[in-house]
Each structure stands twice: as structure tokens, then as C-alpha cells.
């Protein structure tokens, strides 16, 4: 009876997980499906299209400079991610391994900034960008939204798991703090780097509000902004094309997670439990 009971519990758990996976995946499946359906079938709930057509993608490429906007998205998201990895790792190392007065208070203040919505910082950041003459530039797009408290928290928690003896040995050998960070700590912190990179990359990649504020020329627009304007400028009836550009926008993030999910899960499990 115990074996049967355990089998039923396991089967129930698997059924619940499968149902959750289906509920999560179905909107993405419908999005891809709608992009290859005919306009008459876009809103049908059929799981298999009666006819596969690429007209929506052709229409989208005719109306949107997809490749240029995609490049802008990679520069925007990639630039923010790179700067965030460098500076949050430095801050996380200092908060985890360096002794100085007010360290814990500073860490608490950094965590408190996570509760401040971006909308409250938007106007001051916009004024700074205008004063510096960074409108319609990559600097204005990338620098004001680089570095975040979540990255500092993840690196700080992960660095606390590294044995202190390893750091002491490097200091005895004459290594400075930056050398210890970039030569020892970061190579050991691949899971933390991947987690920070994924979380950071997703933000600017899907961001619409900040690019709308600081970019005016179509040549500077990331793909999310170009896709939104495509839907608002009289093209709203082309729902298949909107689903097509949304599919292209979703693919890089999905691929990024699929390639690095092992490091992501490892980092979440290791950084979430250490105080």
C-alpha cells in the first residue's frame, strides 16, 4: 500500500507539473502559431494552422528595419549587462569580503533601493541625459539604467560562499583586491554571473519606456520600441505581423536561458540560502 501511495503521489505531482508547464508554454506557442497563420485564422484557437504562411514576417520586414533595431537591442541590452556585471561584481566583492565601517548599513541601503520603482527615477535621469547632450545616443540609452541592486545582492551572497582561506592565500602571494576579484572570484562565480546576466539582459531587451524617452530617430530605436510603434501607427490590424516581431523579440532570451539554465538554477539555490 505504501508503494502504491507513493506512486500515486508522484503521479499527481507530475500531472500538476505538466499542467503548469502547458499553461506557461501555451501563450508562447500561440504567439508563434499566430505569426505563421493566415490573417483570417489569427484569432482561431486551433492548435495546428490549416495553412502555414510567412506573409506576416514579409510584411513586418517591409515595415520595420528589423535588423537595425535588433542590433540596437543587442547594444542596449548587452551594454547594460556588461557594465552591470563589472560594477556589481566589484560592489558585491567589497560588501562580502572587505571590512570597513558601515558595510552592513550600506548593504541595507542598497537593498532598500530595490523597492524604489523606476518611474520615480525616470524624470531625474531624463533631465541628466538632456543636460549631458546624450539624447539619441547609445550613452543615453545604456549608462543611466546600468547597475542594479539585485546584481550586487547576488554577487555578495555568492562571494560569501567562497572559502576565506583561498582569498587569504592570494593576498599572501601579493595579489591585490582587483586581481583577486577578476582572477579568482569571478572564474569561480559563473553561476552568479549567468544569473545576473540573464536578469539584467531581460530588462533592457524588453524595455519600452526608457527608449521612448531618450530616442527619437528610428535608427536608434531598439526592436521593442520599433515593434510598439509598428502596432500603433495604423498597423494594428496586422496581428500576425505583430506576433512575428514579438516572436523574434522573445527568441534571444529563451535561447540564453536554455543554454545557461544549469548555472542559473545552481546560482539561485546557492545564493538564496546564505545570509
* 274, 160 Cβ separation under 8 angstroms: yes
Provide the 8-state DSSP code for 218.
G
> What per-residue confidence (pLDDT) applies to 233?
60
Per-residue pLDDT 10s for the chain (275 aa) are 567 777 788 888 888 989 988 888 888 888 888 888 887 777 777 778 778 888 888 888 888 888 899 999 999 999 999 999 999 999 999 999 888 898 989 999 998 988 888 888 889 999 999 999 999 999 999 999 998 899 999 999 889 888 888 888 888 888 888 888 888 898 888 888 888 998 899 889 988 889 989 998 888 899 888 888 776 665 445 778 888 888 888 888 888 878 877 776 766 665 554 44
Q: For residues 53, 59, 60 and 66, what is the CA-based torsion angle, rounded to 10 degrees?
A: 110
- What cell does 251 get? 527568441
- Cα-flanking dihedrals φ and ψ of residue 117, to 5°? -70, 150
Tell me yes or no: is domain 64-271 CATH 2.40.10.10.
no
What is residue 74's predicted lDDT score, i.e. its pLDDT? 94
Please state whether 174 falls in left (phi above 0), alpha (psi between -120 and 50) or beta: left
* Residue 180: alpha-carbon gap to chain centroid: 27
Please tell me the predicted confidence (pLDDT) of residue 275. 41
pLDDT at residue number 46: 75
The span from the CA of 168 to the CA of 159, in Å, is 14
Helix axis angle for 66-97 and 239-271, nearest 10°, is 10
Domain boundaries, the chain: 1-53, 64-271
pLDDT of residue 2: 67
Task: For residue 72, give the C-alpha cell.
Answer: 540596437
Amino acid at each position: 500500500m505504501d508503494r502504491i501511495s507513493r506512486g500515486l503521489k508522484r503521479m499527481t505531482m507530475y500531472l500538476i507539473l505538466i499542467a503548469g508547464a502547458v499553461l506557461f508554454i501555451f501563450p508562447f506557442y500561440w504567439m508563434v502559431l499566430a505569426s505563421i497563420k493566415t490573417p483570417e485564422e489569427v484569432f482561431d484557437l486551433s492548435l495546428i494552422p490549416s495553412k502555414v504562411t510567412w506573409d506576416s514576417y514579409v510584411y513586418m520586414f517591409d515595415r520595420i528595419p528589423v535588423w537595425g533595431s535588433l542590433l540596437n537591442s543587442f547594444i542596449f541590452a548587452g551594454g547594460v549587462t556588461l557594465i552591470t556585471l563589472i560594477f556589481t561584481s566589484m560592489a558585491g566583492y567589497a560588501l562580502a569580503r572587505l571590512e570597513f565601517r558601515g558595510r552592513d548599513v550600506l548593504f541595507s541601503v542598497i537593498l532598500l533601493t530595490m523597492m524604489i520603482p523606476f518611474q520615480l527615477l525616470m524624470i531625474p535621469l531624463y533631465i541628466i541625459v538632456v543636460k549631458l547632450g546624450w539624447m539619441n545616443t547609445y550613452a543615453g540609452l545604456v549608462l543611466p539604467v546600468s547597475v542594479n541592486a539585485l546584481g550586487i545582492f547576488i554577487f555578495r551572497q555568492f562571494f560569501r560562499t567562497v572559502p576565506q582561506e583561498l582569498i587569504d592565500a592570494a593576498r599572501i602571494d601579493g595579489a591585490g583586491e582587483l586581481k583577486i576579484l577578476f582572477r579568482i572570484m569571478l572564474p569561480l562565480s559563473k553561476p552568479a554571473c549567468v544569473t545576473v546576466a540573464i536578469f539584467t539582459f531581460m530588462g533592457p531587451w524588453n524595455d519600452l519606456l526608457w527608449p521612448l524617452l531618450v530616442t527619437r530617430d528610428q535608427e536608434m530605436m531598439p526592436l521593442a520600441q520599433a515593434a510598439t510603434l509598428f502596432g500603433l501607427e495604423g498597423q494594428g490590424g496586422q496581428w500576425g505581423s505583430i506576433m512575428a516581431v514579438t516572436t523574434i523579440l522573445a527568441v534571444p532570451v529563451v535561447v540564453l536561458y536554455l543554454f545557461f539554465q544549469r548555472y542559473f538554477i545552481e546560482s539561485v539555490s546557492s545564493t538564496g540560502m546564505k545570509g
